[in-house]
Structure 1
Amino acid sequence: MNTNDIIGTIGVGLILIAYFLNIFSWIKKDGVLFFVLNIIGASIACYASVLIRFWPFIILEGTWAIVSVIGLLKTIKKPQE
């Protein structure tokens, strides 16, 4: 396993952890932790894809990170219930 693989595995791992925690209701799907794990994970996976110049995953992970940032901002701005 080379450095690119390790970086990508860490990024994808964080995304999968967020998904796993959400599926088992250990974190909220609109919670800050869910979005933060997705932002960090997708950004790291996107970086790994840039290192190997694999455009489909650069686009996928970059979009995932951007959408997660938007979700985080909406959650932070939402009035507390």
Structure 2
Amino acid sequence: MGIHVLVGLLGTACYVIAYALVQLKKLRMDANSYAYLNISGCLCSLYSLSHDFNLAAFVSQAFWLLFTLVGMRANRRALS
């Protein structure tokens, strides 16, 4: 198993942990840590895709990252 596969699995773990913590009410969706887990998951997945490219997965990850960053910016503006 190559390093890109392990990094991809780490990304999946980030997504699953973020989702589980929100569902268990241990983490709020507007928390920075939730966004950072999603960003980490996305970047790990994109790294993995750089070795075994899949266009559909790449597009999904790119939009996931974009929407996470937009959401973080909106939360920061709402707090100021």
CA-to-partner distance for each residue in 1:53-79, whole Å, 9 max, x for gaps? 111111111111111111111111213
Residue identity opposite 2:68 in structure 1 = S
List structure 1 runs of 4+ shifted beyond 3 angstroms.
none
For 2:43, the equivalent position in structure 1 comes to 43
In the alignment, structure 2 segments of 5+ residues that lack a partner are none
Deviation at 1:50, TM superposition (A): 2.0
TM-score by length of 2: 0.89
Q: Does the alignment pair 1:57 with 2:34?
A: no
Q: Percent sequence identity over matched residues?
A: 19
In 2, the alpha carbon distance for the partners of 1:20 and 1:45 equals 19
- Could you say what the CA RMSD is over the residues aligned between the two structures, in angstroms? 1.3
TM-score by length of 1: 0.88
Deviation at 1:47, TM superposition (A): 1.7
In the alignment, structure 1 segments of 5+ residues that lack a partner are none
In 1, the alpha carbon distance for the partners of 2:79 and 2:55 equals 38
